[in-house]
Amino acid sequence: MRVFKFGGASVKDAEAVKNVTNVLQKTGFSNLVIIVSAMGKTTNALEKVVEFYLNDDPELQKSITEVNTYHKKILNDLFENKQHPVFKKIEGFFMDLETTLKRNKSQQYDYVYDQIVSYGEIISTTIVSEYLNQQGFTNQWLDARNFIKTDTAYRDAEVDWEITQKLIVTKVNTKGLSVTQGFIGSDENNFTTTLGREGSDYTAGIFAYCLGADSVSIWKDVPGVLNADPRVFENAELLSHISYEEAIELAFYGASVIHPKTIQPLQRKEIPLYVKSFLNPLNEGTSVKKGQPLDPYLPCYIVKKNQILLSLSSLDFSFIVEDNISEIFNLFHQYHIKVDLIQNSAISFSVCLDDKFNRFDELLNQLKPQFKVAYNKKVSLYTLRHFTDKAIESLEKNRDILLKQITRETYQMVIRD
**pLDDT over threshold 80, residue 347:** no
Rounded Cα distance between 396 and 225, Å, is: 24
pLDDT digits (tens, 9 = 90+) for 235-257: 889 999 999 999 988 888 877 77
User: Measuring CA to CA, how many Å separate 349 from each of 32, 352, 364, 400?
Assistant: 49, 11, 15, 20
- Does the annotation list 390 as a binding residue? no
Model confidence over 120-158: pLDDT tens digits? 999 999 999 999 999 999 999 999 999 999 999 999 999
Cα distance between residue 24 and residue 32, in whole Å: 10
Question: Domain 300-416 sits in which CATH superfamily?
Answer: VC0802-like (3.30.2130.10)
63-114 pLDDT, tens digit each = 999 999 999 999 999 999 999 999 999 999 999 999 999 999 999 999 999 9
Q: What is the pLDDT of residue 252?
A: 83
Would you say 5 is a known binding-site residue?
yes
327 three-state secondary structure: helix
Q: Is the predicted pLDDT of residue 321 greater than 90, yes or no?
A: no
In this predicted structure, the answer to whether residue 280 has a pLDDT above a threshold of 90 is yes
Question: Are 177 and 137 contacting, i.e. CB atoms less than 8 angstroms apart?
Answer: yes
Are 241 and 184 in contact by the 8 Å Cβ rule? The answer is no
Residue 231 annotated as lining a ligand binding site: yes
According to the model, what pLDDT value does residue 344 have?
Answer: 84
Confidence label for 335 from pLDDT (cuts 50, 70 and 90): very high
**Tens digits of residue pLDDT in 194-240:** 998 878 999 999 999 999 999 999 999 989 999 998 888 888 899 99
The answer to whether 121 is annotated as binding is yes
Nearest to 112 by CA among 124, 100, 123, 120: 100
HSE (side-chain half, CA atoms, 13 Å) at 314: 13
For strand 401-406 and strand 348-354, is the pairing parallel, antiparallel, or unpaired? unpaired
SS3 of residue 325 by DSSP: helix
pLDDT reported for residue 197: 81
For 84, which DSSP code? -
Q: Over the stretch 38-52, which tens digit does the pLDDT of each residue have? A: 999 999 999 999 999
8 A C-beta contact, residue 182 and residue 5: yes
H-state helical runs in 212-295: 244-253, 263-268
Would you say 6 is a known binding-site residue? yes
> Residue 268 contacts by C-beta under 8 Å, 6 or more apart in sequence?
209
Q: Does residue 346 surpass a pLDDT of 80? A: no
Phi-psi region of 159 (alpha: psi -120 to 50; beta: other; left: phi over 0): beta
Amino acid at residue number 191: F
Amino acid identity for residue 209 in this structure = Y
CATH classification number, 2-220, choose in 3.40.1160.10, 3.30.2130.30, 3.40.50.720, 3.30.1360.120: 3.40.1160.10
Q: Is the pLDDT of residue 320 over 80?
A: no
Q: Do domains 2-220 and 300-416 have the same CATH topology?
A: no
Confidence bin at 258 (pLDDT 50/70/90): confident
Which parts of 137-272 are beta strand (E)?
A: 140-141, 177-181, 184-186, 192-194, 215-220, 241-243
Angle of the 42-54 helix axis to the 109-117 helix axis, nearest 10: 140
**Helices 85-103 and 119-134, interaxial angle, to 10°?**
170
Q: Is 8 annotated as a binding residue?
A: yes
DSSP letters, 338-352, are EEEEEEE-SSEEEEE
Report the alpha-carbon distance of residue 42 to residue 223 in Å, rounded. Answer: 24
Q: Is 359 annotated as a binding residue?
A: no
Give the domain ranges of the chain. 2-220, 300-416
